[in-house]
Structures are given as structure tokens and as C-alpha cells.
Structure 1
Amino acid sequence: MVASSVLGFPRIGGQRELKKTTESYWNGKVDQETLVNKGKELRSTNWKIQKDAGVEIIPSNDFSFYDQVLDLSLLFNVVPERYLKFNLSPIDILFAMGRGLQRKATETTEAVDVTALEMVKWFDSNYHYVRPTFSHSTDFQLGKFGLKPVDEYLEAKAQGIETRPVLLGPISYLYLGKSDKDSLDLEPLSLLPKLLPVYKELLSKLKEAGVTSVQIDEPILVLDLEESVRSLYKSTYDELSSVGLDLVLTTYFGDVRPNLDAIKGLNVAGFHFDFVRSPEQFDEVAEIVGDKIFSVGIVDGRNIWKADFAKASEIISKAIAKFGEDKVIVASSSSLLHTPVDLNSEKKLDATIKDWFSFATQKVDEIVILTKNAKGEDVSAEFAANAASIKSRTESSITNNPKVQSRLGEINESLSTRKSPFPTRLESQQKKYNLPLFPTTTIGSFPQTKDIRVNRNKFTKGEITAEQYDDFIKKEIDTVVKFQEEIGLDVLVHGEPERNDMVQYFGEQLDGFAFTTNGWVQSYGSRYVRPPIIVGDVSRPKAMTVKESVYAQSITSKPMKGMLTGPVTCLRWSFPRNDISQKLQSLQLSLALRDEVNDLEKAGITVIQVDEPALREGLPLRSGKERSDYLNWAAQSFRVATSGVEDSTQIHSHFCYSDLDPNHIKALDADVVSIEFSKKDDPNYIQEFSNYPNHIGLGLFDIHSPRIPSKEEFIKRIGEIMKVYSANKFWVNPDCGLKTRGWPEVRESLTNMVDAAKYFRDQY
């Protein structure tokens, strides 16, 4: 009969239990045993949710204390030597690779100072993975740091729950990695012959433990792959299948058709395809499956909208007609990692809007209902309720705003072009600001202290008045501005103490958004976000940031940056609508932000940063028309938001944690851009941006790590950049905003950074 399957479940806990315990461990408030036990508790809860709902194929090894790709690096001993010198426990090695580690020596422990590995976006999602780093000395071994997939399978089995372990496949694992800076001539995929025996050893141990089937993810099959990569699949899976386990090769996030030749005839038990993101691939992928299992990814693992049962059941029925009931699995399109845990925890959402949503726990129920329907069981009541919900959303006035739709017609080339080219603007800006060489700034936010969070919570609950809260925010701004002046920063920020999140803060002030109380999703490590939900056409009823920016400028003579989040990032870091194009949603946001940019300029804020860290994340995974169209409308959205200002107003933007192409950001025509750079150890990356025509800052320290770079480290880093970069175009700044760091780290790091900039001013 048709079976139900979940590809992965959120690991964070319904009340962010994983974050709280992990950060308590990092801060020395709980011991390792407490952390490990919390992991067991969360895994048990997740398995039980799925079993009680009636899911037949439940995943294991989808849990991680930090990142599932990093877990695999530890499992296979892909651990650079610098992390092995300090006699750390396996979990501390994991955390050191993920976030760096710096601590002073004590009577019983030696000093530790190691940087984190590079972290980049997981395909086109807002999840970040820690990139495996290989060298000529990489020695693949299994079991040196434990056998996590085996242990977690046995853990579930002991609770009476049979699971299907999840593994990232060997080709994707190597392809998504990089060569260490000392082994840049190494092609990671050349290590496949050394890695395969370790994978086979792992599969053998899983088989010995009682496993019969393994979900093995090869997500790179939705990318543009060269023939040299595609040709690896047959021999690789001939090897892996020889262990005797049923391997279900899993793809998601896109269209597999251009790589069908790589997987046609593979010696695996079955295939999984994502028919939410790419329903049009059905006929062609079905042709290569043969008599194997056909897993239909039909419940969206990337968004919060209810599945349309009528449309989903059509695809499931089509699969059953072709393959038969015993070969079809009804599944989530991808892991549910990218969705919040449970809609039932939302007590404040408008009932009408809430009825349109489905979080991970509800998606599990949807999978089971669709499976029951495919088996011929009576779920007519559930289908009727689903149809009513879909109809309600389609016809709602919340969704449709004729004024916003009409305003989109105003967008033309003139609206998205600055008045003068950059050289003319630069001359005007140099006269106005008279900045020194190597001007220093930060990306925007300063530490979000406990005091800030407590007062924000009091204001939200009505325990303090708006006036009291405004006074508190002003005092926080005073502190941040005074600190920046003391250490000698050149272009200041107000620190954003009033903001909860760089997208949520704006969404809360725009029409067309809805918000959750507990809709948390993991972004990386212990960093969780609560994405706003775009439920309708977007507009700005009033100014959003002018008050705080004007106050901050009033207490300093130095330039004060107005801080905004760009249209593409507001879109990508929200749960977007699935009923209109992302282009239309982005342009709606650009018009709202244009109004804000213009209001800031009118109020005297003439350095304005419009961040677009999600620009690269939104890039379609394959080259072609869809990608070129995206680059055009994404750049147009930014320019619409920023082009209504005078030449002397300086527009900044920021990008982080992506493999950027200079041409992508060149099209934005920002006056100054800042780019995450501290974890990039390929000298070619500097060279790629050396011809960028406008001004640029390559981020000099990793704000996601608690370690503090010395002045000498900053000087060395800037010196490397200056070998290929023009000093009169270079800005000095961190990688990203500082909200996740503590004040002691921020004070020392920024002071060292500014001192390094002053050192170079003396050299030029």
C-alpha cells in the first residue's frame, strides 16, 4: 500500500529548547551531560509526534546540535588539524568548527584560539551549513568521534520506533565542500575513491544495527553539473548498494531533469523528487524510475501554506496509476527543517489567516491525510475543510489591495536609475563628508543585551508606556553613539536597539504581513529567526525608522547611517506568498522602501544603508532565463528603493555568507557595498572584486564567532587586500551586524579594527 514519509523534522524544539540549552552550555551554565540529554529529549519528542500522527517512514539522524553537514565532517574525521591540538571533546570540536573558539589558559586547561570554518547558504534557503574543508592530508575515518547515525537509529528503536536514517550523499558532500587554503590545487571530488569505503563502512554498521532502508540525499542534482560530476553517480551507487541496504536517493529544491542521465538506471531502491518546487518534471522523472520506489514530495517543506489537497492528490493518483500502490510514497518535498514546529502554539494569530497556515506538525498530518486518501480511506471531511480554507485565502480582501497593484504600473526605467553616474555622485559625496582613507563603519546592529530584550518585552506586554520605552531606546542609542565616537569610527550607526529582527521589524510596520509568536526556524547554529509571513499586497502606511535615525544624528556631528533591509531580503527572509510571483512581491516591497529612503533623506539622514544579504540566496539554482530574469528584477527592486535621492546622498548595501559574483552587485549601483570576507581564504576572491567600480568593504572579522581578532591580525588581513585593491576605494568594517555578540567582544574587536585602519592611513 501507499506509505507516508517525512524527510526531516525541525530539531529546535517547540519552545526553542535546543537554543536555550546549547547557549547555556557555551556560557558554562550547564554541563555536557545536560546538553546531550536535551538532544535525546528533543529527538524522542520529534519521533513521537510523527509516529502518533501515523507516519510510516520516520527519519533519524536529522537532528544536530549545530548543522547536519558539519556532523558528517566530524563523523568522517574531516577535521582540520588546527581543531585537534587542544584535547577537546567531540562536541566541543564540532562547536569550534562551527563558531570558532577562543579562551584563556587556566590552571588545568591551555589557551585555545581557532577560527570557524566557512559558513554558506544551503542552496537557495536561509539555512546556513558549515562547508566541509578538505586538504591533501584529509584522512577519512569512521568512528573516531562517534557513530551518530547508528546511535540515533538505535535510540529510536529502543523506544519502539523504526526509523529510516538520513545521510547526505558522498557526491553532494564533496561537491559542497572546498579545499583548504594550503591545498588549493585539490579538487574535493578527487577524494571520492577514499571516501566511498568509509560510507560503505557506515552503511554496513547501520545494517548490522537493523536498518533496512536509508534516505541518501543528493541535492546537487538540481544544480548545473558538469559531465565529470554526473558520470560519478553510477559507479558510486553500484558501490554503496553492494552493502545490501535499500537506498532511496533523494533530491529536492528544484528540477532534476537536466541531470536525469546521471541517475537513470542507478542501482538504488527508489527515488524522491520535489513536486512542490518543480511539478512540471513529473512525466520525465517518472520515466527513469522503472520498477523502483517513487517518493512524491508533495507537502511543502519550505513554506507555511497549507497543501492544496485537491491538487496534491491529483499528482499522487498519477503516480499510483503509473507505479502501483506498493511503489508510491507520499512525502514532504524536503526536510521540514525550514518550517516552524507547531501552529497550535500560535494563540494570537487572526483566526482567518491562521487557517491558511501549516507548520511542521501540521504538515505531518497533511502527509498522513493525503496517504489515507490514496489508500481509499474516508478523509472527505478533511478534504472539505482544506478546500474551504484554500478558497477563503484566494478570495480574501487581506490578500488583494488594488491600490498597491495599481502603483506597480508606475515603475519604469527612470524610477530605477540614480540621477547621475557614480563618479559624479562620488565627487559630491567626498565634498559633503570629507572622509579619510580607509573610512571605518559597522554594518548596523550593536549587541542586543538582556536589558534591551527585557524592556522590549515589558513594552510589548504593556508593562511600560510608549514614552518610557522611547526614553530607554534613546539611552541605548546614546551609549552606542558615544562608544563609536570614542574609538574613532567615521560613519556611525544608531545600533538598532528598537529592532527585534532585520526583517520582522519592517514587516511589523508594513501592511500585508502576518506574524507569529513561536514560529521560529533555525538559520544556523543557535541563531533562530521568526520569519514574517507575506499574506497580501505590501504597502507602507507610515515612516518606520526616521524617528530613531534623526535622534541619533542629533547627538553627533559625524555621518549617521539610516539602516534599512532591502526588498529582496525582506522577501527571501519572510515566508513569501505562493499565489503571485516573487518578482511582484519584491517590487511591492521596493516601492514601500523607496518611500522610507526618501523620508530619511528629507529628515537629514543622507547616508542610507539598504542591506541585501539574501541577494545571492535568491538566485535560481540553474543558469538560464529564470536566473537572468531574477538578476534583472532583483537589481531593479534595489534601484527602485534607492534611486529617488540626490547625488550627495550615499547609498550603502551589505551582503554576507554567499558566493557572490561582482556582476550581481554591480547592477545595484550602490555607492558603497560591504561583503562578508573573513572566512574566505582563497586569494582569488579578493582578485574577483578588485575591479569593482564603486567603493567596497571586505568584512574583516567574523561576527558569528566569539573570538576577538588582534590589531596585528587586522593589519595582516588589510595588507593582503591592499596587494590587489585600491586604497582610495576600500572601507574597513566587520562581516555583519553585531547584535549576537557581547559588549566586551565588540569593544575590543572594533577598537582593534579602527586602530588597524589608522595604521594604514599613516602608510598611504
Structure 2
Amino acid sequence: MTTLFPTTSAGSLPKPLWLAESEKLWSPWKLQDAELTEGKKDALTLSLAEQQRAGIDIVSDGEQTRQHFVTTFIEHLDGVDFDKRETVRIRDRYDASVPTVVGAVTRDKPVFVADAGFLRAQTDQPIKWALPGPMTMIDTLYDAHYGSREKLAWEFAGILNEEAKELQAAGVDIIQFDEPAFNVFFDDVNDWGIAALERATEGLTCQTAVHVCYGYGIKANTDWKKTLGSEWRQYEQIFPKIQQSSLDIVSLECHHSHVPMELIELIRGKKVMVGAIDVASADIESPEEVADTLRTALQFVDAENLIPATNCGMAPLARDVARGKLAALTAGAEIVRRELATSR
């Protein structure tokens, strides 16, 4: 990865209308069986082409083969009963009906490895693959077996490590762990959450990332953000420990948020995916808006460590909006790239 300010998407991208209903999370598939398998591959190919057309440097699958960034992975594990459901509070924010852990959780076969291999075969560009983090996984389940959030998280960490190693072998360059729960359960994050995440990355030689955001642009999240006041300082409570961790990259939300940009200083030395695209709005940023965010971030992160990105996934947005936002991201990065080249 030699490009200065290599651009990427933090997470999901919208699915085509023929595969799933648009602008919605948890949208059911419109295809079945062999047609669904083929349709997912077609969608992944299309998502890659759209990223490339927009000029994205570090590409991903756009999460085209999964309905949800956490649940799809869990669906492939033993020990979780999706028919036995309980209502729990997700990230202390909203109630949801979730599956129940009824026995020891195990992974009998790879979940995303074939999809990653399919993506790898289509491009020579660096590819990034997202997995749910252990703490966010336990926050989307009802535990009727382990009786300990920490113990269940460590079980998931070992399972994630198995998947991550196979993704690396399939040619993935960056494995990203999505941990929005890190922005809520601060004591647990510092006591054992980051250690569990490091267990998930154990033995990897590819780059590793942790994505900590304020959530998708859905009502439950936007309503919560309104309660956080004029400054969002949640990162301040977890960044010092993350800075000391073995993780290579930290992904955070910046644009149109109330996160004080100087908090990035707390992870000086890490690569930083700076969220320069607001995923909670259908308004498409101008390249200059993106450039402004990146210029501010450069006060607190070395240029060679800055990765322009989106704040979070864009699955709930219309496809034309997401395409426009990706194009703005790359154009804004190019503005700052040229400015830096001129000043040197």
C-alpha cells in the first residue's frame, strides 16, 4: 500500500435491487438457493466495479453476501439457536429480539473465506475484509449458557481468529474487526475487550484494524447521538489502551460528528481510517468538504498513516448516493494529496 492517503469504505455498501430491498438493514433476499448464490457473486462483482470506478484504493466486498455485519457470521456457528429468541438492549440504545446462546459456540467450517477468495481473484488491489468484533457479537445475543459476557467474548475471539487466519490465507490484506460496542462499554473495553480483540488477531501477519463508530444512519443511532451533547468524547476513554495494542489501524467517525479531532492524537503512531463521509445523510459531500476533514486530521496523524474512509457502512443509503459519496471521498483525498506534494 504505497499510495498516499489510500481511500476505502469503512463497511457495507448498498445491494442491488434485484438482490435485496434497498435502503434497509436486515433486508430479506429476493433470490433463493442456487440463484441466491449466483446473485451474491454478481453483486460482489458489481460492488467491486463501482468501488474501482469511484477510484477507491483499498477495496472490499461491500458486504454483498451478508444481510448483517454481525448476525450473518453468527448464523454459521453452532451453539446459537435462532428460533429461541429473547429481547435484549443493544448497546444500551434500543431493544431487539435476538437469538440465544444455548451451548458451546463453535465454528465447523469457514464463513466468508470462499467469498474472500472470489474477490481476491478479481483484483490485484489491496482488499479489506470486515468481521464482527467479540464484544459487539456478545451484545447482539442472549446468553443462556456461559453466564459471563467476558467468557463468551473470549470464545468468539478464538473462533474469529480461526476465520481471520483463513481469510489471510485467501489473500486478504487488511482484516477489520467492527466494534461499535467499544463506544459504550468503556470499563469492559479496557478490562478485557481489547485483550479479547487481540486474541482474535493472534498470529496474523496481514494488517489488522478496529472500526469504532457511532453506528449506521438509522433512527435508533441518530436519536442516541442527539443525547450526546456538543462534544462526543467517547473515544477518549478507549484510545489510550488501543494505542498500546497490537492493532495496526483504527477506524473512527469524524465528518459531521461532534468528535473533537484532537482525540486522534491519543492514537499517534497507528494508521487511522478517518471517517470523512457522513453515512447518516443522503447529501453527497463536496470534494472540498472531504479535503477539509482530512486537512484537520493531518494535525494529529502523520500523512503516511492517514486512510480516508467513510464514517461507517452505507447499506441503508441509495446506491446512487453511495456512489457519489465514494467519488467525493477519492476526489477530496486527491486534493490533499496534490497540496502535500506541492508543499514538499
Aligned ranges for residues 281-320 of structure 1 at < 5 Å? none
Q: Taking structure 1 as the reference length, what is the TM-score of the superposition?
A: 0.39
**Cα 1:618–1:723, aligned 2, differ >3 Å: closer, same or farther?**
closer
Contact 1:690 1:726 in 2 (8 A): no
Q: Which residue pairs with 2:213 in the alignment?
A: 656
Alignment counterpart, residue 299 of structure 2, candidates 701, 717, 723:
723
Q: Deviations over 1:587-634 (max 9, x none)?
A: 0000111100111112222321121121232234xxxxxx5xx52321
Query: Structure 1: which amino acid aligns with 2:264?
Result: F
Aligned ranges for residues 118-517 of structure 1 at < 5 Å? 433=1, 435-453=2-20, 457-458=29-30, 464-465=32-33, 467-516=34-83
**Cα 1:556–1:529, aligned 2, differ >3 Å: closer, same or farther?**
farther
Contact 2:272 2:301 in 1 (8 A): no
Query: Structure 2: which amino acid aligns with 1:703?
Result: V
Q: Which residue pairs with 1:690 in the alignment?
A: 265
Query: Structure 2: which amino acid aligns with 1:714?
Result: V
Determine the C-alpha separation between the residues in 1 that align with 2:122 and 2:96. 32
Structure 2 SS opposite 1:515 = strand
Q: Deviations over 1:481-503 (max 9, x none)?
A: 11111121110011112211111
Q: Which residue pairs with 1:680 in the alignment?
A: 257
Aligned ranges for residues 546-565 of structure 1 at < 5 Å? 546-565=113-132
Q: Is the aligned partner of 1:582 residue 2:149?
A: yes
Q: Which residue pairs with 1:761 in the alignment?
A: 337
**Cα 1:680–1:513, aligned 2, differ >3 Å: closer, same or farther?**
same
**Cα 1:617–1:756, aligned 2, differ >3 Å: closer, same or farther?**
same
Q: Is there any run of 5+ residues in structure 2 with no aligned partner, and where?
A: 22-26, 215-231
Alignment counterpart, residue 710 of structure 1, candidates 286, 298, 304:
286
Contact 2:275 2:308 in 1 (8 A): yes
Shift of residue 456, structure 1, vs aligned partner: 5.2
Determine the C-alpha separation between the residues in 2 that align with 1:617 and 1:578. 24
Structure 1 SS opposite 2:104 = strand
Query: Structure 1: which amino acid aligns with 2:40?
Result: I
Contact 1:449 1:742 in 2 (8 A): no
Q: Which residue pairs with 1:633 in the alignment?
A: 192
Query: Structure 2: which amino acid aligns with 1:552?
Result: L
Query: Structure 2: which amino acid aligns with 1:478?
Result: T
Q: Which residue pairs with 1:398 in the alignment?
A: none
Structure 1 SS opposite 2:198 = helix
Q: Is there any run of 5+ residues in structure 1 with no aligned partner, and where?
A: 1-432, 621-626
Determine the C-alpha separation between the residues in 2 that align with 1:443 and 1:635. 20
Determine the C-alpha separation between the residues in 1 that align with 2:102 and 2:337. 50
Determine the C-alpha separation between the residues in 2 that align with 1:517 and 1:458. 25
Structure 2 SS opposite 1:473 = helix
**Cα 1:588–1:522, aligned 2, differ >3 Å: closer, same or farther?**
closer
Q: Which residue pairs with 1:567 in the alignment?
A: 134
Shift of residue 509, structure 1, vs aligned partner: 0.6
Q: Which residue pairs with 2:111 in the alignment?
A: 544
Q: Deviations over 1:394-414 (max 9, x none)?
A: xxxxxxxxxxxxxxxxxxxxx
Query: Structure 2: which amino acid aligns with 1:537?
Result: A
Determine the C-alpha separation between the residues in 2 that align with 1:651 and 1:697. 12
Determine the C-alpha separation between the residues in 2 that align with 1:740 and 1:523. 19
Q: Is the aligned partner of 1:616 residue 2:183?
A: yes
Shift of residue 735, structure 1, vs aligned partner: 0.5
Structure 1 SS opposite 2:103 = strand
Identity of aligned residues (%): 25
Structure 1 SS opposite 2:290 = helix
**Greater relative CO (CA pairs within 8 A, separation 6+):** 2
Q: Quote the RMSD (CA, aligned, Å).
A: 2.5
Determine the C-alpha separation between the residues in 1 that align with 2:38 and 2:311. 30
Query: Structure 1: which amino acid aligns with 2:171?
Result: G
Q: Taking structure 2 as the reference length, what is the TM-score of the superposition?
A: 0.83
Contact 1:619 1:631 in 2 (8 A): yes
Alignment counterpart, residue 666 of structure 1, candidates 239, 243, 258:
243
Determine the C-alpha separation between the residues in 1 that align with 2:45 and 2:84. 30
Shift of residue 652, structure 1, vs aligned partner: 1.5
Q: Which runs of 4+ in 1 moved over 4 A?
A: 516-524, 527-530
Determine the C-alpha separation between the residues in 1 that align with 2:245 and 2:107. 22
